[in-house]
Amino acid sequence: MPAINTSDIKNGITIEMEGGLFSVLEFQHVKPGKGGAFVRTKLRNARTGAVIDRTFRADERLEQAIIDKRDVQYLYRDGEDYVFMDQGTYDQVPVSAAFLGDVTNYLKETGVALLISHGDNIIGVEMPASVELAVTDTEPGVQGDRVSGARKPATVETGFVVQVPLFVETGDVIKVDTRTGEYMTRV
């Protein structure tokens, strides 16, 4: 693993410390009038998703982790595992549901994602910013009930429930934001 200095810290890089992998969300170089310079960071644990604040001295050395990101396509569910296909090598990769978290709400067969791994260990899966999902069940909108901003629950093809406007009906295809889980638009 390459060693980096705190002056090399940038948003998005992944560092290994205390036996865990952390990606840098924010950083700030601080040079006070008295004393030595330091770097204030906000780090996300790659395995748990927990966000921590950490301060490093200016001369401190860190280990940069080499993270591999591959385009994969979701194929099917096999018990507790979700099976993906690497789009470059066509290898099938089983991923435990524990590593996926909320991603399972947006996975449909033949959907694409980004598989993140460190060495031989799978850290997680990233989805595109939005996905298109078909509405499988929702109550019909009542004629004349057009209150501005009114919402109703709708179940999409993955089983996830999204709050949608009253005009969305069963069979419609909607776009859902994968970061917030909110309805964006009807397709």
Q: What is the model's pTM?
A: 0.70
At which of 64, 90, 109 does a domain end? 64
pLDDT at 166: 85
pLDDT at 72: 93
Reference 136, options 111, 100, 162, 102; nearest CA is 162
Please report, to the nearest 10 degrees, the dihedral formed by the alpha carbons of residues 170, 171, 174, 179 taken in order.
Answer: 70
CATH for 171: 2.40.50.140
Question: Do 7 and 55 fall within a single domain?
Answer: yes
Ranges of residues in the chain with a pLDDT under 50 are: none
Question: Do 21 and 38 fall within a single domain?
Answer: yes
Question: Do 107 and 145 fall within a single domain?
Answer: no
Q: Which domain holds residue 163?
A: 130-186
Question: Do 85 and 57 fall within a single domain?
Answer: no
Question: Do 15 and 53 fall within a single domain?
Answer: yes
Question: Do 140 and 100 fall within a single domain?
Answer: no
Question: Do 52 and 91 fall within a single domain?
Answer: no
pLDDT at 175: 94
Q: Could you tell me which residues are beta bridge partners of residue 153?
A: 163
pLDDT at 51: 85
Question: Do 10 and 58 fall within a single domain?
Answer: yes
Helix then strand then coil, % of the chain, to nearest 5: 5, 55, 40
Question: Do 166 and 152 fall within a single domain?
Answer: yes
Question: Do 158 and 113 fall within a single domain?
Answer: no
- The whole-angstrom separation of Cα 83 and Cα 183 is 27
Question: Do 50 and 74 fall within a single domain?
Answer: no
Question: Do 153 and 166 fall within a single domain?
Answer: yes
CATH for 44: 2.30.30.30
Domain count, the chain: 3
At which of 80, 99, 126 does a domain end? 126
Q: What is the DSSP letter of 140?
A: P
At which of 64, 86, 113 does a domain end? 64
pLDDT at 85: 93
CA angle 72, 76, 77 (to 5 degrees): 115
